[in-house]
Amino acid sequence: MTHLLLAVMWLLHWLPLSVLSRLGHGLGWLLYFFVRERRQITLTNLGLCFPQLSAAEKSALARRHFAFFGRNMLELGLWWWASAARIRRLVKITHGERLAACHGRPMILFAPHFVGLDAGWIRLAMDHAMVTIYARAKNRTFDAALRRGRLRFGKTTLFSRQEGVKSVIRPMREGRPFYYLPDMDYGAKDAVFVPFFGVPAATITGLSRLAKLTGATVIPTITRMVGNHYEIEVGEPWTDFPATHPTDAATDNVVADTRRMNAFLETEILRSPAQYYWLHKRFKTRPPGEAGFYGSPRN
């Protein structure tokens, strides 16, 4: 079955992006109506983050998100098999000079979970010797295809989450940009509870700690679907990060940095709320004694 799926993905990648986009939207609508659990997770997240929305508004936003998510699924084959020339036409980079200005120095590309992040990785990997951490797919055949697709350009390296964040320190010190996605709920380990749209969210502190450990510059890098192409927006490098002002304890700075990360992310989400990855149980881990939101122990 996995081989059949990969064959379909390969065939689809030959289609124009305008056609893939329409098909992806259709797939997203089907997923919204038939994958009940993920629909409920999405609606729960939207209700927590946007309590001012009516039920109808939340439903409409969730349907738009599933349409973008469906696109992301069908267009994955583009990044795994399309030619370099085609990818360059489809994925535009704005303010790429901000990466060039830090070339050879430790860099963390803060790449939150917007639906275009795979397109962002593959396009940037064509120009930069990047490194990232990824979650292994449970299916070995699909995982092998995923790795081949993400490693097809340049001197790129993938480490699995099982290998840990420490694995990226040496490549970073060599000047290789680290494409980092620290905005999911990975559990209570190495996390602090800081607000995300006003709701305490277990948030890993790796962005602050890695920046301090390696002296890396943090550069937000967000990829969005815009019509029938993608745009990677390279943001201004962050200043005073990690925080250097004196506090009562070193951990206070880490918490302040993590709050800053989430606050920045909120601002970016509000620019294109339907493209953020709402299907994930962002508030799965709760402070001690606090009830869960999703009503299920499954991930």
Q: For residue 296, what pLDDT is reported?
A: 54
Residues 138/71, Cβ–Cβ less than 8 Å: no
Whether 295 maps to a domain, the answer reads: no
218 - beta bridge partners?
108
Residues 17/116, Cβ–Cβ less than 8 Å: no
pLDDT at 163 over 70: yes
For residue 164, what pLDDT band results from cuts at 50, 70 and 90?
confident
Q: How far is C-alpha 151 from the chain's CA centre? A: 17
Q: What is the DSSP letter of 158?
A: E
Number of domains, the chain: 1
Distance CA 110, CA 65 (A): 22
Per-residue model confidence as pLDDT tens digits over 174-189: 999 999 999 999 999 8
Whether 297 maps to a domain, the answer reads: no
Whether 280 maps to a domain, the answer reads: no
Per-residue model confidence as pLDDT tens digits over 171-230: 999 999 999 999 999 999 899 999 999 999 999 999 999 999 999 999 999 999 999 999
Distance CA 287, CA 82 (A): 45
Q: For residue 244, what pLDDT is reported?
A: 78
State the residue range of the domain holding 230.
2-275
Among 207, 159, 164, residue whose Cα is nearest residue 183: 207
For residue 156, what pLDDT band results from cuts at 50, 70 and 90?
very high
Whether 148 maps to a domain, the answer reads: yes
pLDDT at 133 over 80: yes
Per-residue model confidence as pLDDT tens digits over 244-295: 765 555 557 899 999 999 999 999 999 999 999 999 999 999 999 999 999 8
For residue 166, what pLDDT band results from cuts at 50, 70 and 90?
confident
Tell me, what amino acid is at 121? W
219 - beta bridge partners?
109
Per-residue model confidence as pLDDT tens digits over 24-76: 999 999 999 999 999 999 999 999 999 999 999 999 999 999 999 999 999 99
Whether 282 maps to a domain, the answer reads: no
Whether 284 maps to a domain, the answer reads: no
R_g over Cα of the chain: 19
Q: What is the reported pTM?
A: 0.93
For residue 135, what pLDDT band results from cuts at 50, 70 and 90?
confident
Whether 122 maps to a domain, the answer reads: yes
CATH number at residue 242: 3.40.1130
Residue corresponding to tokens 């402070």: 287
At 15, list the tokens.
């289609």
pLDDT, averaged across the chain: 93
Please list the alpha-helical segments (H only) found in the chain: 2-12, 17-34, 36-49, 55-74, 76-81, 84-90, 97-100, 117-125, 140-150, 169-173, 206-214, 250-271
Longest dimension (CA), the chain: 59
Whether 296 maps to a domain, the answer reads: no
**Residue 135 CB neighbour total at 10 angstroms:** 13
